[in-house]
Structure 1
């Protein structure tokens, strides 16, 4: 029990001290992790006896990812982000629609497709954040500019 409290405290501190860009990466990391978990459980169901508990866990992983995608949608700044923010919003909406269908049909292809695109977006954000932090060394911290 003490170890889980330490992990919780560490995670809470990481979140509280993270920059906006780091928080976005954390959300993508968790979304990919959740979908990987769901895919693993789906594979186990396909290769053996289906388990109601496993089906519930798959559903929870997908729902958690949908919550994360919704949080990413809410974090978009349409004023600063312009067309990029609008395009991300459309993509996130599509992700949630695909995940809903994937959950209903227990469809690993749809889950994999969304997972791979989330992973690509995570990589792109990581590059942007790295580039901005390298350019900003020695300068005061400013907001993350996703438009250029």
Structure 2
């Protein structure tokens, strides 16, 4: 219960940039947990974590893209997120850890780039 309240407080206080970072972190956490669950043959946990990762990509990151204003970057991210969603579905069906690792490898650099632009976003918000 306390963790839920803490998370809600963190979300309410977060900037849009921080919210996206939280989505990336949640995605990577879910993929990691799904990998561990898959290796331990915990099917229900695996399915829950892959489902959470898919929802984060679909309802969080992909839905937030502005395809008109974002140009090629937004379109490329949309295509990447769609690809990763399809790969996660396949990983779930085949119990394939390597596909989960691929999803991590594809999204982690985007997250790292997002972290790197954080100071620029913060300066722009103060200006």
Is residue 2:119 matched to residue 1:136? no
Is residue 2:97 matched to residue 1:108? yes
Is residue 2:28 matched to residue 1:11? no
How far off is 1:99 after superposition?
Answer: 0.5
- Please give the TM-score of this superposition, normalised by the length of structure 2: 0.92
CA distances 1:41-93 after superposition (whole Å, capped 9, x unpaired) = 22223xxxxxxxx1111011111100000021100011221110000000000
Instruction: Detail structure 1 runs of 4+ shifted over 4 Å in the superposition.
Output: none
* 1: CA distance, partners of 2:68 / 2:16: 17
* 2: CA distance, partners of 1:86 / 1:39: 28
State the match for 1:144 in structure 2: none
- Change beyond 3 A, Cα 1:137–1:74: closer
- Please give the TM-score of this superposition, normalised by the length of structure 1: 0.80
**Alignment equivalent of 2:27, drawn from 31, 40, 44:** 31
- Change beyond 3 A, Cα 1:7–1:118: same
Q: Structure 1: any 5+ residue segments left out of the alignment?
A: 46-53, 140-148
Number of equivalent positions: 126
**RMSD (CA atoms):** 1.4
